[in-house]
Structures are given as C-alpha cells and as structure tokens.
Amino acid sequence: MIEKKVRCLQCGNIITSSGNPGEVILVTCPECGKKGKVTYKKEIQSDDVAIEAINLKKVYGDLIAVNSISFYVRKGEVFAFLGPNGAGKTTTVEMIESIRQPTEGTIKILGKDISRFFNEIKDKIGILPQEFFSFERFTVRETLLYYASLYKKNVDINEIISMMDLKDQENKLYMNLSGGLKQRVGVAIALVNDPEIIFLDEPSTGLDPKARREVWEVIADLRRKGKTIFLTTHYMEEAEYLADRIVIIHKGKIIAEGALEELINKYGDENILRIKDCKSKDIISKLKENDFETISEGNGDIAIKIKYKEQILEVLSFLKHECVDYSTIDIRRSNLEEIFLKLTGAKLREAS
Amino acid sequence: MNLKFIKTDLSLSVRSWLRSKGTVFWTILFPVLLILIFGAIFSGQGDIEYKLAVQNFDDTDLSTQFIEMLEESTFFNITTVDNDAEMAKYMQENDFIIGIQIPSDFGETIQEYFGDNTVSINITYYTDPTEQTTGPIAQSIISGMLNEYNNIITNSRNVVGMNHESILGEEFDFIDYFVPGMIGFTIMNSMVYGSIERNTKYRKDGILRKLLTMPVTRYDWIFSKMLFMMFLSFISTFVILIVGILVWGIGIQMNIFFFIIIIGTSFMFSGLGMLIGRFVKDQETADVAGGAITFPMMFLAGTFFPLDQMPDILQTIAQFLPLYYVNEALRNAVIYGDIDKTLFFMGFVIAFAIIFFSLGVIFTKWKED
C-alpha cells in the first residue's frame, strides 16, 4: 500500500490517499467535493528498463561535471534529459554511449553492464552525436550505405530513406543539404542497424523553427514505431512536446524527474493569471489586501496565482470594480521553464 | 576483419576524392604542373652550360685531349686563359665562377705512370666560394669526367685527380633528379594532410565519436584508410612517372624496391599526420603544424635540388629529415639503379615508417577524455 498526498485541482486543498501499485483510486475533495483519479504506478521491472545509470559521476580535475546521478529509461519511451548548456547532459549521454569513461558509477543498457558488454550492445543502439556532420562528399544514399556496412544486419536502406522522407535528397551530396536535412540524415544514420535504443544528443540545436518541427515529427514517428529514445535537449518546448518522461539536470545534478504532468503537479505553481501593462500604480497592494497572491513582474505586468477556478472571475470583477486599465490578460499553467526557474533560481536560457 | 566495411569505405573514399577538385589538383595536377614547369626550365634548354676558364701549362696532347673531352661534354663553354695571367685574378676580373689549371707536368706524369704506376698528378679546380650552386655542380661534373679520362688513358687507375670528389651522377639530367623528389614530396603532402583531416575534422564533426559506438575496430578503420591512402600514393606516383617518361624521357628502372619504398613512405607520413592530429586538435592549427613540418622538408631534404649544392650545415640537417631518405631511396631505386644505396636508404624509410606509424596508431584515440 502506498500513501500519496495530492492537491485538489479545484480548491487547492491537500488530500491524503492510499492505494496499491497499478491501482487507480477515485478520491473526493472533502473541502469542495471535486472528484479526481489518483494513479499508483507499478514499480519498474528490470525487463522494462532500457537504460539504467547508477551513481554516475564524471570529474575533470577540480570540476565535477556529473555528480553521482541515478536514473532509468523505460523501453519504448522518449526520455528527455533537459538542462542548460554545461549542465552535464552530453557528458552523461557520452558516458552511456561509452565515448567517455565514467569516474564512478555503473551503466546498464538492456540489462548489460556497458563496461563489460558494450561490444554486444553496439548492434542494438543508434546514436546521433551532438553537432554531428557526416562525410561532405558522400551522397545521402552513400552515407547510409557506408554506415550500414559496419553492421552484420542487412537493413533496407530504401525503407530508411522513405521513412525519413529523404527520397528527393538521396542522390544529393551531404555538404549541399540544409541544416534540417543534415539532422534528418543524422537520425537516419542512427537507424541503419534498426536499433532498439536511439540516442539523440541535441538533435534540433541550431535549426530554424521549421526544421526543428520536422526533426520533432521524425522523433515522434520513431516513438510510434516503438523505439526507445534518449533525447538530450536544452529546449523545454522540445521536452514538453516529445518526452514521456523528463529528467532536469543542473550543474551535474538531477533536480527533477518525472512525466511532464507530474513535474508540473509537483513543482509547478497553480494556474497563473497575467495582467499586462497595468496602468494603476497601487493595484498590487489592493490585490494583496483582498487576499490575492500576486507577483509583480515589472513594467506594469502583474501575475496572480489562481488557486481555484472561481478565483479567475473574482480577479476580473475586482479589476472592473477598481476601474483598472490594462492591455491584455492571459491564464496558463506552469511550464518547464518556470519549474526550472523555481528549482534553480535561473531561467533555462540564462543558465546556458 | 570487416571486409564489407573495408570494401565500402575504399570505394566511397575514392568516389569522394574524385568529387573534390581541390584534392585531385593537389594530389595529381599540382605535381604534374611542377614537373612540366621545372622540366621546361631545366631540361627544355638542353644541358646546363657553365663558363669554364682553363689555364693549361702542359704542352702535350694528353692535356689537349682532356680539354677536348670537357668541350665535347656540352656542359662547358671553355675560355683559354693565357699562361702569363694570374688565374684567380683573371677569373675575378672576367666574372668566371669556375676554372681549372692544368700543371706543366700533366702529360709527363701520365707517360711516367706507364713505367711507375705509383705516380699521380692533380689538376687545380678554382671556384668562387661565395657561389654555392654552380661551383659544386661543375666540380662534380669535372670530377666525373676525370674518372672517365682516367679510364680511357690508364684503364681505371686514378693517375689524374682533383682535391675534392663529388657523388653527383654526371650522366643524369635535372629532371631525373627532380621526378623522384616530386614523388616523395607529393606522397608526403597527401599522407600528412589526409591523416590530419581524419584526426581533426572527423573528430570535430563527431564522426570518430560515432564510429566508437559502432561495430568497427580502430584497426579496421585505420587499415581501410591506409588502403585508400596507398591507392592515392600509387595513383599520383604513376601519373608523375608517366609524365616524366612521356614528356621528358626519363629512364625508369621499375623494381620491387620502388613498391616497398612507396608503401613505406605512405605509412611513414600517415603516422606523422596522425601524431600531429593527435596533439594539435584544432584543424586549422593542425594544418599549420603540418605545413611547419612538411614545408622545410620540401627544401631541405633534397627534393628539388641536389643537396651537394647546399651548404654543409643544410646537408647535415637533411640527414635528420625522413623525406631525405625517401628521395634518395627512390632515386637510387628507379633512376640510378644502385641497389646498395637503395637498400641503405630504404632501410631508413622502413624504420621511420614503423616508428611513426606505430606511434600514430598508439596515440590516436577515438575516446574522449
């Protein structure tokens, strides 16, 4: 039996509930009567684990790049390793890929310790390294044939070309492709052995928004095909859009871990109502006097934490009553950027 | 060994090479252009002719015969110096760089030799010591002709000599000297810069990191790349030889040593390139480091000009340069046909190849720190 504390989505009341692993329990808030489901996850079984890192540490001189982190990746999920540049993402993924030697710790891929069995694992993984560029004067088809020739398994290159929508580019030289297409070829190379696990290290860095979207669609498609994807990124939108589970890493340490919903529920604030360009000078003090929890964001912008749905109407009525002039209002939930800010005191982009 | 990969790698590397006009230019066309240009400069004018001042104190037919021999060689435009003139002063006043003085007992000593084969006579060779190019070459030619003269007159006994000897083969033109040097130089550049590219650009582009996670060993990869590099070496070598033969009529003695030297040279300079690429990780800096090593070798290792023409200090330096041994081994193997010297220099080429390539393989890492 597991005991859990959950927050009522309507009134914000904290409710204590208990259940068994795998059960979904219906609970009712004693304060407002709102009903909701509480899920008790099954404990992870070793057969379900694609990657497991235990107390992983990497030290360069005085610098601890990765500080004794542990996490696992389930089979068939998109696992995002999110953090600013220099957080330790690439060092971690390169230790898992056996490119770097960990100072301490154990890494298992498909249940096998990579320090002993990495050669056996090579056939089962596909990798797109960070800032990867292939041979300039090979065509797309030649590039795929080249990397495919390294494996005993014979895969159909035509199938990969079609899957990655590279048919029109297959005879073009790699050097003549756009950044987005090069990344798509990079992902295609990672598929030449039909791997179970695909590592994509910052696959959309440096791409324009359209190309980034294209890469995201490719990754989403791979997930639909049942591949396990280990994605490192410093784009929270990428993690939000693609990931089943997210680990946030900062200064070599894991600071949060879970599905997007779990992270928001656990670390995020309530819904936030934002008033833009508010003209009234003493409005913040008046809001506080009326028990609204406010945050001044500068330049006349005000954020108000919404604890229950009706509070939105209460705020709007108050603003009307006080004849407050403003330009726009929006209401939204916390995102990963805000969670990162809350956990580290820095914005994700600023921390890079 | 992954033969499927090696075959694919070799075939795609050749295709990729052919698509790079710049690389094809530097590997094939540049050496061909140099051969044509240098050949035209030094061979197109016929044999080189030097102004030679001759002062003959001997009045026998034997000294006249020697002077005629010098004239017939086409190397020298001879000016006879009056016996009353002071030779050195005459040469200075009349802008002669080289001159010879035949002593008065020249003919008499040679005749005496047939009765007493212990006697000998020296001619005196005058040269302007500030002139580092013409003097040693002309001295070598005269020395060679004296040997021939001795052969004719005394059946190989050196009755007539000079104070200094030289090794320059008198029967060869400049282009015969130049072509093997060009082969060594071209292979050196292809191998050094090819290895630097593989160890710096491929590292920067993540290709080496990617290969590390794939089922290929570093040895399969290096072996495959060496096959390609040797293909390049032989292609450029044969193109240079064909141009040398067809355009300048050089005589080639093809033998097994030639192939061993080309293979050894390829391994030697690939290893050197690997070492540069290992310790200088940025590609631009590595290219500069490559240039800093190859450029001086181009001039100091007897690639384009005979080392005999260079000051002693440079000749000493040359003996520490790997390209010197390649050039000399190739010359002796395919041009001079001197097996002893070929084996001597080839031994150095093989030793350098083993040392550099082994160090290159040992120090080249795919793993990151």
Q: What is the pLDDT of residues B165-180, one digit of tens each?
A: 333 334 566 788 888 9
CB distance B20–A138 less than 8 Å? no
B298: closest CA of chain A, how far (Å): 30
Distance, CA of B166 to chain centre: 16
Task: Name the segment(s) of chain B with CATH classification 3.40.1710.10.
Answer: 46-166
Classify the C-alpha dihedral A84-A86-A89-A94 as positive or negative: positive
B7 touches chain A (CB under 8 A): yes
Residue in chain B nearest A143 by alpha carbon:
B12
User: In the prediction, which pLDDT does B59 show?
Assistant: 84
Distance, CA of B150 to CA of B158 (rounded, Å):
6
User: In the prediction, which pLDDT does B163 show?
Assistant: 60
A92 touches chain B (CB under 8 A): no
Of B12, B20, B209, the CB nearest to A99: B209
Among B18, B214, B367, which would you mutate to test the A interface (most chain A Cβ atoms within 10 Å of its Cβ)? B214
User: In the prediction, which pLDDT does A20 show?
Assistant: 80
The 10 Å CB-count burial string (b at 16+, else e) for A289-325 is eeebebeeeeebbbebebbbeebeeebeebbeeeebe
CB distance B215–A127 less than 8 Å? no
pLDDT above 70: residue B164: no
pLDDT above 80: residue B43: no
User: In the prediction, which pLDDT does A352 show?
Assistant: 53
Residue pairs between chains A and B whose CB atoms are closer than 8 Å: 78
Max alpha carbon distance in chain A (Å)? Answer: 75
Interface of B with A in 203-242 (CB under 8 A): 205-207, 209-216
User: In the prediction, which pLDDT does A236 show?
Assistant: 87
A145 touches chain B (CB under 8 A): yes
CB distance A149–B7 less than 8 Å? yes
Interface of A with B in 175-214 (CB under 8 A): 189
B108: left (phi over 0), alpha (psi -120 to 50) or beta: alpha
Of B9, B12, B213, the CB nearest to A97: B213
CB distance A122–B214 less than 8 Å? yes
A123 touches chain B (CB under 8 A): yes
Single-letter amino acid, residue B350:
I
The gap between the terminal CA atoms of chain B, to the nearest Å, is: 27
Distance, CA of A322 to CA of B315 (rounded, Å):
97
Residues of A in contact with B208 (CB under 8 A): none
User: In the prediction, which pLDDT does B46 show?
Assistant: 47
**What is the 3-state composition of chain B as percent helix, strand, coil, each rounded to the nearest 5?**
65, 5, 25
Single-letter amino acid, residue A254:
I
User: In the prediction, which pLDDT does A197 show?
Assistant: 95
Of A100, A145, A152, the CB nearest to B368: A100
CB distance A145–B12 less than 8 Å? yes
Element (H, E) at B232: helix B218-248
User: In the prediction, which pLDDT does B165 show?
Assistant: 36
Task: Select the more confidently predicted residue: B26 or A200.
Answer: A200
User: In the prediction, which pLDDT does B75 show?
Assistant: 81
Residue in chain A nearest B220 by alpha carbon:
A150
Q: What is the pLDDT of residues B240-258, one digit of tens each?
A: 999 888 888 888 888 899 9
Single-letter amino acid, residue A352:
S
Q: What is the pLDDT of residues B48-61, one digit of tens each?
A: 678 889 999 998 88
CA-angle at B135, arms to B69 and B71, nearest 5°: 15
Task: Select the more confidently predicted residue: A110 or B113.
Answer: A110
Distance, CA of A249 to chain centre: 11
Residue in chain B nearest A191 by alpha carbon:
B214
The 10 Å CB-count burial string (b at 16+, else e) for B232-241 is bbebbbebbb
B23 touches chain A (CB under 8 A): no
Residue in chain B nearest A114 by alpha carbon:
B213
Q: What is the pLDDT of residues A266-290, one digit of tens each?
A: 887 667 888 888 877 788 888 888 8
Q: How many residues does chain B have?
A: 369
User: In the prediction, which pLDDT does B314 show?
Assistant: 81
CB distance B369–A100 less than 8 Å? yes
Mean pLDDT (chain A, rounded)? 87
User: In the prediction, which pLDDT does B169 show?
Assistant: 37
Q: How many residues does chain A have?
A: 352
CB distance B210–A119 less than 8 Å? no
Task: Select the more confidently predicted residue: A322 or A160.
Answer: A160
pLDDT above 50: residue A183: yes
Distance, CA of B364 to CA of A198 (rounded, Å):
27
Of A99, A127, A133, the CB nearest to B368: A99
CB distance A127–B2 less than 8 Å? no
Distance, CA of A333 to CA of B256 (rounded, Å):
79
Select from B353, B184, B368, B199 the least CA-distant residue to B276: B199
User: In the prediction, which pLDDT does B168 show?
Assistant: 35
Is the CATH number of domain B46-166 3.40.50.12780? no
Select from A87, A84, A83, A95 the least CA-distant residue to A58: A95
Task: Select the more confidently predicted residue: B154 or B132.
Answer: B154
Q: What is the pLDDT of residues B210-248, one digit of tens each?
A: 999 999 888 888 888 899 999 999 999 999 999 888 888
Q: Band the pLDDT of A143: cuts 50, 70, 90.
A: very high
Helix or strand or coil: residue B108? helix
Q: Band the pLDDT of B130: cuts 50, 70, 90.
A: low
User: For chain A, what is the HEC assignment?
Assistant: CEEEEEECCCCCCEEEEEECCCCEEEEECCCCCCEEEEECCCCCCHHHEEEEEEEEEEEECCEEEEEEEEEEEECCCEEEEECCCCCCHHHHHHHHCCCCCCCEEEEEECCEEHHHHHHHHHHHEEEECCCCCCCCCCEHHHHHHHHHCCCCCCCCHHHHHHHCCCHHHCCCEHHHCCHHHHHHHHHHHCCCCCCCEEEEECCCCCCCHHHHHHHHHHHHHHHHCCCEEEEEECCHHHHHHHCCEEEEEECCEEEEEECHHHHHHHHCCCEEEEEECCCCCCHHHHHHHCCCCEEEEECCEEEEEECCCHHHHHHHHHHHHCCCCCCEEEEECCCHHHHHHHHHCCCHHHHC
User: In the prediction, which pLDDT does A305 show?
Assistant: 83
Of B12, B209, B215, the CB nearest to A146: B12
Interface of A with B in 41-60 (CB under 8 A): 60
ipTM of the assembly? 0.76
Classify the C-alpha dihedral A84-A90-A92-A93 as positive or negative: positive
Single-letter amino acid, residue B257:
F
Q: What is the pLDDT of residues A253-263, one digit of tens each?
A: 999 999 888 88
Q: What is the pLDDT of residues A39-86, one digit of tens each?
A: 776 666 777 899 999 999 999 999 999 999 999 999 999 999 998 888
A133 touches chain B (CB under 8 A): yes
A27: closest CA of chain B, how far (Å): 49
Distance, CA of A304 to CA of A292 (rounded, Å):
7
User: In the prediction, which pLDDT does B136 show?
Assistant: 66
CB distance B8–A152 less than 8 Å? no
Percent of chain A whose pLDDT exceeds 70 = 96
CB distance A129–B215 less than 8 Å? no
